Amino acid sequence: MRPSLSTTGRLSTRPSPVAGVCSEGPLDRKVVIEKSLGCYGYTAEELRDRSCESLSTRLKSLTGVVINEMLAASRLTTVQDGRLALPAPVEEKKTLTRTQKRRELRKRAAARAKEAPKYPDTPIGKLLAHADKRYNECRAKKITEEQYAASLKRAVIKAISEAGGEFFEELSMKILLALYGESVRSNELTAGPDDNGIDGKIVIRDPAGFEELIFFQSKTKLNERAYVSIKVAREFLGVMTAYGATKGILITNSRFHRETKAFAAKTRHLRLIDDSELFALMARSGAGIKTVDGLLHIDDGLFLNCR
């Protein structure tokens, strides 16, 4: 059916063929108008006349009006080079149930967590990230287990330094409680301004019912080459004697001076734990170091929550 012309000069019938022409892809405005004329049902003879008042000229003018109205109504759009095209189809918005919304939120949260860095950009975070990288390299057989163990030890010792003295005192207590096990009757962290050099107390009872009071002191060193001096050991032994402790344990994430070692060897009541033995005891007790797929791995959660 041919479209007629209304008194207002507009096409009065069916939708313009402009949309059908533009569905072929982006086209110049002139091309769209020319192709649209062929869709109105008129013969080539009828459209041959190009004079001002001819049917062809009037149809072109009206088709241009239709194009402008379609652009205004967003039923037609222009691409970057000015050509005409149909707008991209808009997806119908789905109405989700509460359960579907919760699932969608969980998916988005999981996606954000996956994209977020595993460790924070802090000194401890960087140490943990490096330790985790070496763990994966060991699993992939890129480094030996001996190389990984040495790297893990360095990371753990440095992480203790970064975590601070209070963290180390709590870690020391966890290690000792794990080692003494069921023989522990009571324990107390005593660190503070009036601790007299005692960071913690543990009371243990042997099978015969005898109880012993054990003091420990944790010495955090920022440099693994720094040594714990003999002065520290002498003062600690003096406090033990004054308060009736039967045994004392000095723990450091560094090393002891040779004079300190010689002094401790002369007494039966003082025990020294340096960085190497500390690392071994952490692995043995599971305090600060855990086993993941058969390999030791630093306890990320413990160190990340230290502050």
Per-residue model confidence as pLDDT tens digits over 143-173: 999 999 999 999 999 999 999 999 999 999 9
- Tokens 């009872």, located at residue: 205
169 and 268 co-located in one domain = yes
At 232, which amino acid appears? V
Average pLDDT along the chain? 86
Quick: pLDDT tens for 7-61: 344 444 455 687 888 787 788 888 888 887 777 777 667 667 777 777 778 888 8
Q: What is the mean pLDDT of residues 99-109?
A: 86
pLDDT for res 72: 86
- Boundary (domain end) residue, out of 31, 50, 85: 85
Residue 104's pLDDT band (boundaries 50, 70, 90)? confident
- Residue 97 counted as domain residue: no
Q: Both tokens of residue 258? A: 């040779």
Give the torsion sign (CA, 290, 293, 295, 298).
negative
More confident residue, 92 or 257: 257
Contact 243, 187 (CB under 8 A): no
- Residue 142 counted as domain residue: no
Query: Among 167, 175, 135, which Cα is nearest to 152's?
Result: 135
Which residues on adjacent β-strands are paired with residue 184?
Answer: 204
Residue 69: how many CA atoms within 13 Å on its side-chain side? 12
Q: Where does 65-210 show beta strands of DSSP type E?
A: 77-78, 84-85, 184-189, 200-205
Whether residue 174 has pLDDT greater than 60: yes
What is the C-alpha to C-alpha distance for residues 130 and 125, in angstroms, rounded to an integer? Answer: 9
Query: Among 221, 219, 283, which Cα is nearest to 251's?
Result: 219
Q: Which CATH number fits the domain that encloses residue 224?
A: 3.40.1350.10
Count of structural domains, the chain: 2
| Domain containing residue 63 | 18-85
- Residue 104 counted as domain residue: no
Name the DSSP class of 120.
-
Contact 157, 149 (CB under 8 A): no
